[in-house]
Structures are given as C-alpha cells and as structure tokens.
Structure 1
C-alpha cells in the first residue's frame, strides 16, 4: 500500500478509542514497525492529535473528540458532497479542480458497492447554467484569495464594452453568485463607499500594496440584494399586494426570489398576499409580473394596477412602432401616418394645479423634439380633478421615442404621486382643418 493508504488505515484503527501499540498496528496492516513510526510522525505533523502513552498498557491513541470525527462519510453524506460538486462546477466555482480532486479522493477510499452507488447518483443529477469562461475563473480565484487575506486590489472596471475602463483600488469583502452572474462587494476607495461590481466587467486586476480589515458584521449577500433592488422588503412603507390567479401561476410566483421572501399568506384558494415597498411597486415589480400575462389578477393596491396599465401601454407602443416600421420595409402601410392620443388624467384631490404645472413643464421639453406636432393640456370645466391632454405626433414611433427622453421620464416620475387615475385613448387622424396629412 502507499504511504497515504497506510496513514489512513492507522487513523481508522485508532478510532476505536483504545490504546494500540506500534507492533499491533504493524501486525494488523502487515507492514514493518518502522513504517508505522514514519506514518505516525507524518500524521502528527499534519495535525492529527495522536497521543503516545508509555509504560504497561501503553500505546497510541487519538485525543478527545477527534475519535468521533467523520474520517469517512456515510452513503448519504457521500451523495450530498458529489451533488454539491456538480452545482458548484456549473455555477462557475473558481476552485473546481481542487473540488474534483477531493471527490476523487472520496471515491478512492470507498468499497465497490459504495463507489457504484455514488456513480449512480452523480449521473442522475444535471445542472444547466451559463458557463463561466477561463478568464473570469482566474479573476474569481484572485478575488477569493484577496478576500481571505485582507489584501487590496488595483482594478480597472468597465460598465460596458463601449465604455472606457475606470481605475480604482478595491478592498474586496466577498464574492456572490446571483442569477448566473458573479459579483464582488467591497470598499471602493475611488468612491469612498461600499459598492458591488460584476466580475465579468473587470478588465484588469492586480495586487495593491495595502491591506484592510473587513467589517465583522458585513454580509456580501445582503449588501448585493439591497444595492440591486432597494426598497423592496425592508422599506419603511410596506404595501399589501393581493394577487389572484390559477394555482400553478401563483405557485410559480411564490418561487420568485422577491415574491417568495415577501409572501405573507396563501389564504383563500387562488389568492396570495405579499408585502412590498411602495417605491418598488412603481419601478421593477410590474416588470416581474408582466410575464404572467392574464394568468394573474391584481386585486390591490390600485397604484400597482395603474402602473401595470402604464407599463403594458408602453410595451404596446414600443412593439407597435416596430410593427409599423417592419410593414414599411415590406411595402405595407407606411409609418408616415399621423399618431394622435387623448389622455384623461384624474388628479389626486386638490393636486390638479400642481399636476398641470408639471405637464406644462413636460410640454416645454417637447418643444424641440422631433415628431411632436401638438401637445395641449386642458382642464375640465365640469370636474375639478380632471385634465385632458391632446397629443399629435408624426408617427407612433416618434411618440414611443419621446417616452425614452430623460427629461420626460423625470417629469413622469414626479407626476405619478399626483395622479389618481389615467385613461389613454389612442387615435389615428384621418383629416380635417389644420391637419396636414
């Protein structure tokens, strides 16, 4: 047997808790007594707490709780370790080679029956994940080592392929794998604050000549969730969201990483109750709900229903403009058709004047915008809270483009808290006085 096999066998025999002499070990393993001495010296140098008791009834024994340590894993533990290695490898774990060697060692010290069982279970599990390239794996290794050693790194980072990389020194606190992407969270000395960075956007990474102490209570996982999606689960103002739908659709929704954490109860059949931050309902939550289409119905709150209608209309306009442009290329209806819209806005009680002022501000930003031919704000004479907006555009694509303008978006964001309801009416002008088709 190899020296490693002899050392493992000696440890196994010492797990009985009884004192065993060197000669007994040599006889049991059919090796020379000098080989026993060499193996025990190597084990002690490796950290194994082997005690040598002299005198009558003396011999070697293991110290304390080390006797009960799992030198060998049971079948369920072996299966779990092999399955975990599959997940780690597919997620782009940077030390996959070392993990594979560890699994190989695990298989090496099993009998034929155990090995056959391990192989049977490992072949029955697969994970589908976007592969991590070799360059990113090397960056992850370097980041993990720097995190463990408390070493700062000099980093060039680009937010996109077309942007010039920016240079900074980073104190890496931890790496996180989230939704198929690796992130590093740490203290950025350029911005003088804790920030997160995508590892695949790191252009260059080198050791800096400084060290750092990571805050004891810092969690890279919690920081990343808060930085990517703030004001969702721990906002000061949490709003009740009640959703109704088919059971299978609700089951899928409750598995979503955000809605799963925000779930309060699955009360009546076909209903689910969540608690979410109010700001999140106006920003990213509607986009999470869009893929469920008509399978879900939002019962409350009204602000989410209104926002879902706005987002859906924006999506419709976006794809309608694409449809018109595509038809034009194929010789169909040209995209020179005028586009008109009447929008009925209901202001929150007492907020109409403030809302009108914001809309007039928006109209000024449209003054030089290509494609905008008419944008009139009207106050209802009969209803103190109603505003009508009349719009005329050169085509639907021009109108859709206006919704991407930063100034317009900023005004819309400021106006939303003042709006109690919105009813857009889409029109296609056919002619009349003052309208040049």
Structure 2
C-alpha cells in the first residue's frame, strides 16, 4: 500500500541518511518513477525532504527531523515485541537495555496499538534451550560480545573434542549466533566457528581488526549449517533389523526384507562413536554387518556385558 511505503521511505531516510532514488527503489522493490511520486507526496504533506544534485546526491531529511512510529500496523507491532529475546539479551549483559528500548517503543506507539504489544508480552515467552539439557555456562560471553562489537581480537584457551583437547587460539570475532540455546562465535582467521561455553580463558589484546568486506554473518551461518548437516551423516553402516525395530537413522538405500523376516538396510551415521551408542540402544534387535570395525567394537561391548552380568552375584 502507498501509505505503508511512504512510512518506509521516511524510516529509511531517518535511519540511513542520504539515499538515492535508485537505492530507495531497490529497497522497496518498486520503480524509480514510483519513488519520485512518493517523494513528491511526502513533500506536499509537509515532510522536510531535500534532494541533493550531483554524483553523490540523493534524498535526505532536514537535520533533526524525526518521525514517530505511527505507521506501524497491528501485525507489525505484535511481531516487534514477539521478536524480543530477554534471556539472550540478559546473557549478553543487555537485559536492562532491551527493557528500556521496548519501553521507549511502547511509549512511541499510537494508543490503539499499545494493548497489542502488551498482549504479546503477556502471552508469548521465548525459552530456547531444550528440556533435557542444562543451560551452558558462558562466563566469557559478555567479553566475546564486546570484542565482536568493538572489532578487537582476543586470545583464548579453548577446549575441543580431539587431542590435544585444550588449545590456545587468537580470534578475530566477526559475530555471535544463538542456536538452540547455545552461543557460537564466528571468528577469523577462516572464519571458523567456536562454542562460547568451551572457552576456558579469554584475554583481550586491544588489537583492532576488520572482517572481510564481503562477510555476511547470516549467509555464512546458513552455509555452515548446510555443510554441518552434510558431514553429520557422511559415513554409512549396513545393518539387519528384527521385525518391528525402527530404522536407526535415515536410509541410504531401499530396505530389503530377508527370508528370516529381518530387514537389511544401509543407514547414514554421524560417526562410529555415535553409531556405537545408538545401535546398542536397540539391544538384540539389530545386527551390524559393516563397517567391520564398528561390528567388532559392538561385539567387544556385548562380550563385556555378558562377562559382567553373566555370573549373578551371590550374597
């Protein structure tokens, strides 16, 4: 709608400063001719819009002019307050800042929209971590966030899964990501991804850095997730399942029911360690055929269990 687009033009110029008609048209997904008409409509309505000529010209608002958020719709108001993540803000040390910002936005809303903001706050609450996982201890999260914000390198002692487990790293933190209740920092060189809760020590260096000019945190994270899921199930195992036993993971080939009623199937696995644990949960309802090292490892575990439980203790 035109009225909504006019408000968008005002807010874009208010937040970004000078913008050309072409930039506004690209942002709003309209033609440059439409932008010209909208600017004329705003000027006719008394909005102090100025056009600067020349190569670096564009439209800008009179210095000091601010518009109130009277263009927000009911749906936009509800979405704005639903997007608030008080838990994450508190972890970053910004809990009071978020509360103050929401208070200011609520005060700027037209009276008719304030009840909708209050309704969202009272009916929806974001709690990201899962039920069966304790909240991660992230004592260095505020320091990492400060390094991200101020573009300062840090030295850390980091605990990883493989040997040697504790390693020292110099990081240039590009951005923070909250995924399923867990904080990750994307940092150069690389960039690479680190779990913030696995940082054992952090020392600020005071050294400034500049991330690559084409780095986009959201784009990088989406690519990282795709690569992670691709690697997650890169290995395969061939197993036989007893009738009624659920498939342990996504199948890679069509399952074949054999003469004894068992099903032979190839499944994708994350690793031999994870498959060892997952397959043992199925007890005698599964037989691992390949890879040989996984079959042998499960056989050793089964033998240990027989030895441990085969001779009942006598009182």
TM-score by length of 2: 0.52
How far residue 155 of structure 1 moved from its aligned partner, in angstroms, is 1.0
| Alpha carbons of structure 1 residues 125 and 315: separation in structure 2 relative to 1, 3 Å | farther
- Say if 1:183 and 1:198, in contact at 8 Å, map to a contact too: yes
Question: What does residue 139 of structure 1 align with?
Answer: 143
- 1:48, 1:65 → 2: CA distance? 5
**Partner of 1:347 in structure 2?**
none
Runs of at least 5 residues in structure 2 that lack an aligned partner in the other structure: 20-37, 51-57, 61-68, 256-264
> 1:238 Cα deviation (Å)?
6.1
User: 1:301 Cα deviation (Å)?
Assistant: 7.7
> Which residue in 2 is equivalent to 1:154?
154
Deviation at 1:142, TM superposition (A): 1.8
State whether residues 176 and 184 of structure 1, in contact with CA within 8 Å, keep that contact through their aligned partners in structure 2: yes
Q: Does 1:196 align with 2:193?
A: yes
Q: Give the SS at the match of 1:186.
A: strand
State the SS of the aligned residue for 2:83. helix
State the partner residue of 1:106.
105
Cα–Cα, structure 1 residues 220 and 45, in superposed 2: closer, same or farther, change >3 Å?
A: closer
Match of residue 79 from structure 2:
80
Larger radius of gyration: 1
Secondary structure of 1:168 counterpart: strand
SS at match of 1:174: strand
For residues 240-283 of structure 1, give each alpha carbon's deviation from its aligned partner in whole angstroms, at most 9, with x where no partner exists.
Answer: 9999999xx99xx9xxxxx6xx6899x9xxxxx99635xx2533
Instruction: Indicate how the Cα distance of structure 1 residues 134 and 314 shifts in structure 2: closer, same or farther if over 3 A, else same.
Output: closer
Q: What is the Cα deviation at residue 174 of structure 1?
A: 3.3
Q: Which residue of 1 aligns with 2:207?
A: 209
* Aligned 8 A contact 1:154 1:169 in 2: yes
SS of corresponding position for 2:159: coil
Tell me if structure 1 keeps the 8 A contact 2:252–2:267.
yes
CA displacement at 1:170 relative to structure 2: 1.6
Q: Residues 110, 316 of structure 1: CA spacing in aligned structure 2 closer, same or farther, 3 A cutoff?
A: farther
User: Is the 1:139–1:205 Cα contact (8 Å) retained in structure 2?
Assistant: no
Distance 1:16 1:185 in 2: 35
Distance 1:304 1:46 in 2: 58
Q: Is the Cα contact below 8 Å between 2:288 and 2:295 reproduced in 1? A: no
Instruction: Give 1:85 shift.
Output: 1.0
Normalization by structure 1: what TM-score?
Answer: 0.40
Aligned equivalents of 1:284 and 1:164: distance in 2?
Answer: 19
In structure 2, C-alpha distance between the alignment counterparts of 1:83 and 1:290, rounded to whole Å: 43
SS in structure 2 at match of 1:100: helix
In 2: Cα distance, 1:110 partner to 1:157 partner = 47
Alignment-derived partner of residue 32 in structure 2: none
Partners of 2:276 and 2:227 in 1: how far apart? 19
1:315-339 deviation line (CA, Å, top 9, x unaligned): 995xx7xxxxxxxxxxxxxxxxxxx
Identify the residue that residue 188 of structure 2 maps to in structure 1: 187
Partner of 2:273: 283
Deviation at 1:58, TM superposition (A): 9.5
Cα separation, 1, equivalents of 2:149 and 2:252: 40
CA gap 1:186/1:47 in 2 versus in 1, 3 angstroms: closer
Distance (Å, rounded) in 1 between the aligned partners of 2:46 and 2:80: 35
The C-alpha deviation readout for 1:83-137, integer Å capped at 9, x for no partner, is: 2213763794564444333322332123455322322232222326466778434
Structure with more contact order per residue of length (Cα contacts < 8 Å, sep ≥ 6)? 2
Provide the aligned C-alpha RMSD in A.
5.8
The alpha-carbon distance between structure 1 residues 94 and 172, as it changes in their structure 2 partners (threshold 3 A), is: same
Hey, what's the Cα distance between the residues in 2 that align with 1:44 and 1:223? 34
SS at match of 1:121: helix
Report the CA distance shift for 1:281/1:154 in structure 2 as closer, same or farther (over 3 A).
closer
The answer to whether the Cα contact below 8 Å between 1:286 and 1:304 also exists between their aligned partners in 2 is no
What does residue range 36-435 of structure 1 map to in structure 2 within 5 Å?
47=17, 59-60=46-47, 72-86=71-85, 89=88, 92=91, 95-126=94-125, 127=127, 129=129, 135-146=139-150, 149=151, 151=152, 153-159=153-159, 167-187=168-188, 195-200=192-197, 201-209=199-207, 211-214=209-212, 216=214, 219-220=220-221, 222-223=223-224, 231-233=231-233, 235=234, 276=268, 280=270, 282-287=272-277, 302-303=289-290, 314=301, 396=308, 427-428=310-311
Mapped partners of 1:74, 1:48: distance in 2: 26
Task: Report how far residue 306 of structure 1 moved.
Answer: 9.9
Q: CA separation of 1:427/1:82 partners in 2, compared to 1, >3 Å: closer, same or farther?
A: same
Is residue 240–residue 275 contact of structure 1 (8 Å, CA) maintained in 2?
Answer: yes
